[in-house]
Structure formats: C-alpha cells, structure tokens
Structure 1
C-alpha cells in the first residue's frame, strides 16, 4: 500500500526534476477483457515507440525508449492503473518512478485500452489529486481475544500490527472472559439477577481490569489515527462490543466514524480481502452522501453552474469548491496572461494569440492559484451535474 512517506518522497523527487518528463497513465486492470494476456503491454509499447522524444541516446548507447521498455518488461502488475514518470538525469541516465493503483484516476481517460502520455512538464496532477484527496480510513476490528487495526487507502488495505502490539496474550485472554460475561450474562438474559453476577469478587476484578484495558485500547487507536493521518474510521465486530468501545473514544475520534460492519468470516485470522470487501459499501455510501450534499449546495443560492460562470467565479477568487465530473472533457481558451475563458470570443478580445486547451490540463493549477478545493463526482451525481448544472458547478465563498 502507498504510504504517506512514499507520497512525500515522490513529491520531493518530481518537483526537483528540471528536465522534460514522460508521464504515462495506462489501464492495466487484469479483469478488463481488453487486457487479456497482458494486452496493455503491447499497447503501451506501441504508444511509446511512436514518440520521437524517446529516441534520444542515453549513456550506455541505448535510447530512452529502449531502457524504458526494459523497465516495463519487468513489471508484473495486478492493479487497475499504472502511473509512470520517466526522465533523463544529469548523468544522461534514465530515472523512473511508478505507482500501481487499485483505482481509476479522475480526468484520465483510459477507456477502451487507451494510454495517456505527456512529454514535457510532469503531468502529475491526477495522481497527486488521488494522493491528497482520497480518504485514508482506519478499521478497528473489535474482537474479544484479539483486536486488529487496519489502514485502507486507494482500495488497498494493510494491517497495522503496531497499534495493539503491547497488549499481551494473557491480557487478551482475561479481556475476552469479560466480553463473554457481558454477552451471556447481561445482553441476552437482561435481568437484574444476571447483573448481580458482576458483584462477586472474581467478576468485579475482571470488570475493573477490562475497563482499564478499554481505555488503553482507545488511546492506542487514537494514536494510530493521528500518526497515520487518517480521515475516517470504521468499527468492525459485534454491535454491542463495537458500541461499548466507541464510548471510550474521545469526541474527535468518534466524529471520524462513518459506519459499522459485522465480523469477518474468520474472526481469529481475517483476510485483508474479506475486510476490504466488508468496508467497501460503507465507503461508497459515505462518498455518495458527500456528493449529494455538494450537488444540493451547488443548486442552492450559494451555487454557480455552467463553464462561463464557474470560470469567472474562480478567477475572481469567489469560488470555495469546484465540482467536476470524473470524466472532464471541456475545452477552454487560454491567454498569455494565464486568464482562461469559456468561449473564444472573450479570449480574442484580450489576446488574439489565445490557445485552445483542455480544461483538465489547467484546472488543478487554476484551483490551487485561487485556493479553491476540487471535488469530483461520479455515477448518479455525475449525471445530475451534467443534466441539471451544465456539467460543471461550484460553491461560492461570498
């Protein structure tokens, strides 16, 4: 899984490159029929072979293209999208950075096996958007004899074994005894006499111990959430255990919780695949709720829609949030002073030498320049954006 350190390292490297960079986005999804038998490999090679910029000779006599193909030939991918960046360093040697992503990226059109390539200024904005805007999610598996903590990001998941590492097997065993007492003695029978069972010395001791352990576990989860920079939290397990633990979390951490899921099939040794599949619907529902709210806000008095209105608002620094379809295809007209217009007539008045450009190539820098947050919508909300808001919308600051 891609860590925050990986992202920070990549940003540092790519921002320091002062040579032209080859940027490549390729659909490598093995589940896609168009990629049967690694068909993506042939398409990618053919695309790169047609680029004159890659015919330059490097230090060892091979061309940029030849050395890059050696690198690509060694890739064994099981992801959906390959993002690759290559350039020639000061020693006339090839350098390559690449990521294998289990998600599709916004504004990158890879349908029907298409390969998207750019040569020149690094075209890293789609992947940086994914790195910065996709949520990092923590998953706490609340289970009597052994708790687990996971980090999920970009449709990948990894167990963070350090979270509960200091809890000993004996402590887990004693804690599990307490969980069994609660489940069988209070929650099922629900009688006053059953509650009295807790008054004997043995069970009172376990209860006191377990309360302290709950507090420790909550502190451990809070530490992992902060250390990993997580944006959301999902609790997994029996409903009563999950809710009991939730009460021990501080308010800030509780506010990150977006849902609850049931125990995995194998509670003792759950597979990462099972955990990921269980949390996927919760993540989709949370995203859909947020997208619905964005569209509702864009349709309110504080919203604007249509390419011309949105471009005017953003370049007047009025736009707080820019709402775009996942498959952005709009063309715009850019002048030498960097002003961007929705139609050529307006651009002509300011600069007769304006150029037609793809909005997806400009929109990230444009938004950053005016401190505007970008949000992409897909599925039903994307159709609503096209049908009711002219394909692009925003929420204004004032």
Structure 2
C-alpha cells in the first residue's frame, strides 16, 4: 500500500461525464452488532443497484456501460477476498481505469458509496490522520524486529539478530532463531554465559544497531515510531536512536502476532 502517493492521485482526480469514480467505504466488522449476519453484502448490493437503476432511468447509456464495468470489478474483489475481510474495505475505482485503490483494513468505517466525478476522501483522510505510516521496533535481548504499518495494515517486517561470533547484527527474512546466543559457527552458547555476556555488552551492541533503525525510519518515512521491550533493553535502544520515539512500551512482545502487536502498542 503506497497510501500517500494514492492520496495525492485521488486528490487531483477530476473526471468529466460519462466518466466517474466509485468511492466505497464498507463496514465489514464482524464484531459490529449491525454486521452479525454479513449485512454488508446487502448494503453493497443495494447501493450499487441504486446507481445502476438511476443511470438506466436517466438513459445515460455510455455512463451505465462504464458503471457496470466498475461494479463487476468491485464485486469480483469482494468475492475473491470474502474470507480475508477484517473491519472495513475502502475502494476507489474510476471508470477510465486510471485509479484502482482497494484495501482491507483493521479500522471500522461508516458504510457509504458514491458515484460521481470526484472521489470522496473525508473518511480516508480522517483514518490517515489517526493511523499514519508507523514503525514499531520490538527488542528482545539479541533480537530486534521492526513492523511497518499504515492504516493498521502491515506493509513490511524485518528481523535483526546479533551474531555472537562477529558481533554484527544480521538482517534476515522469516522468524528469528529460537535459540538465543547462536553464533556464525552454529554453536550454542550456554544461556547463563550468554546472558552475562549480553548484559555486559548490551549498550554497545544496541548502539551499533541504532543507525540502521534510524536509516530505515528515514528511508521509509515513518511518521511515528513505537518501541517495545523489557525496560532496560527498550530504554537503552531508544536512547541511541536519533529519531524521536513517540512511545516506549515496557512489554516483551517480539514473538507475538504482528496484528496483536499493533493493537497492544498503538491501541
């Protein structure tokens, strides 16, 4: 999701009839009492049908043709993603195919659908103000994980682990090693021995990682940074980062599910 670029494109979009853009904010939150039976399906169908009927009655044949193509694309997206829905779906779809923005989000929206020459951005803008692009840094002794999220959706995760042999932080894909104190040789350091060594070198090792985290935050344009970990570890890592930390949470949640982390850290 490249939201900022998409927002700029949407803000500039001005079409002329018979071209139009469909704006859809759809509440699909299963925890909402009004959505217990999947009422969003009926709401979506009724909204789209009302526009189609209006265009038929107005005898806007060219616009009706374009609307039907957009409707088919929207309905296909909802059908394909029905099992992946969370709290809401936002779609912007222009009839000239210059804009297609479809996102499944963790935040609830008010259901409303528009078909007009310009997109309706009020709800999107409010969501973006409340949930901008953020970076969450999780620290757990010799392991650090970053989660980049926007509008509550996870964009990217990175893992760093300290190589005990080289004293370098390695970045890698996939979950961190289950064994603390594994070096390049693959030989496990005894836990108590590793704990003592890490405690003695913690500040120096965190200081060596901090510039990489600062660069990541700058390059990816994080608007807010949250840091979580045991008190001593989180506070030490935060003290070496040049970027401002918006919130430090003293909880060890590096191995938790990413969406759970977002709820715990950001709320």
TM-score by length of 1: 0.50
1:239 aligned partner = 231
For 1:161, the equivalent position in structure 2 comes to 158
Q: Displacement of 1:155 after TM fit?
A: 2.6
Distance between the aligned counterparts of 2:10 and 2:113, measured in 1? Answer: 22
Query: Unaligned regions of 5+ residues in structure 2, if any?
Result: 170-180, 184-188
CA distance in 2, matches of 1:148, 1:31: 30
SS of structure 2 residue aligned to 1:42? helix
User: Who wins on radius of gyration, i.e. which is larger?
Assistant: 1
1:143 partnered with 2:140: yes
* Matches of 1:259 and 1:72, distance apart in 2: 42
1:82 aligns with 2:82: no
Runs (5+) with no aligned partner, structure 1: 185-197, 199-206, 282-398
SS in 2 for 1:50: helix
- Note the 1:166-245 alignment, pairs <5 A: 168=163, 170=165, 171=167, 173=181, 180-181=195-196, 207=201, 211-245=203-237
Shift in alpha-carbon separation, 1:95–1:234, aligned structure 2, 3 A: closer
Seen in structure 2, the aligned counterparts of structure 1 residues 219 and 54 have a Cα distance that, compared at 3 Å, is: farther
SS in 2 for 1:247: helix
Equivalent in the alignment of 2:177: none
Give how far 1:248 is off: 1.8
Q: Distance in 1 between matches of 2:156 and 2:48?
A: 38
Which residue in 1 is equivalent to 2:107? 103
* Alpha-carbon distance in structure 2 between the residues aligned to 1:116 and 1:14: 17
**Cα contact 1:67–1:94 (8 A) shared by 2:** no
Give the 3 Å change call, closer, same or farther, for CA 248–10 of structure 1 in structure 2. Answer: closer
SS of equivalent residue, structure 1 residue 262: coil
Residues 12-46 of structure 1: CA distance to partner in whole angstroms, max 9, x if unpaired? Answer: 26624523323222212222233334321122111
> After the TM superposition, which residues 217-366 of structure 1 pair with which residues of structure 2 at under 5 Å, given as runs?
217-250=209-242, 253=243, 255-264=244-253, 269-281=255-267
Q: Give the paired residue count.
A: 236
Alignment partners' CA distance in 1, 2:133 and 2:218:
11
- Counterpart in 2 of 1:307? none
Cα distance in 2 for partners of 1:68, 1:94 equals: 15
Q: TM-score, normalised by structure 2?
A: 0.70
Contact 2:24 2:92 in 1 (8 A): yes
Match of 1:42 in 2: 42
Task: Note if contact 2:131-2:152 (Cα within 8 Å) is conserved in structure 1.
Answer: no
Is 1:25–1:116's contact at 8 Å kept on the other side of the alignment?
yes
In the TM superposition, residue 66 of structure 1 has moved relative to its aligned partner by: 6.1
In 2, Cα distance between the equivalents of 1:116 and 1:211? 53
Looking at structure 2, the residues matched to 67 and 247 of structure 1 have their Cα atoms a distance apart, in angstroms, of 51
Give the Å deviation of 1:148. 0.8
Contact 2:210–2:240 (8 Å) recurs in 1: yes
Structure 1 position 68, deviation (Å): 0.8
RMSD over equivalenced CA pairs, Å: 3.6
Question: Partner residue of 2:15?
Answer: 18
Q: For residue 276 of structure 1, give the secondary structure of its aligned residue in structure 2.
A: helix
What is the CA distance between 1:126 and its match in structure 2? 2.6
Of Structure 1 and Structure 2, the greater helix share is in 1
Q: Distance in 1 between matches of 2:62 and 2:252?
A: 55
CA gap of 1:274–1:127, structure 2 versus 1, over 3 A, is: closer
Work out the CA distance in 2 between the residues paired with 1:9 and 1:67: 18
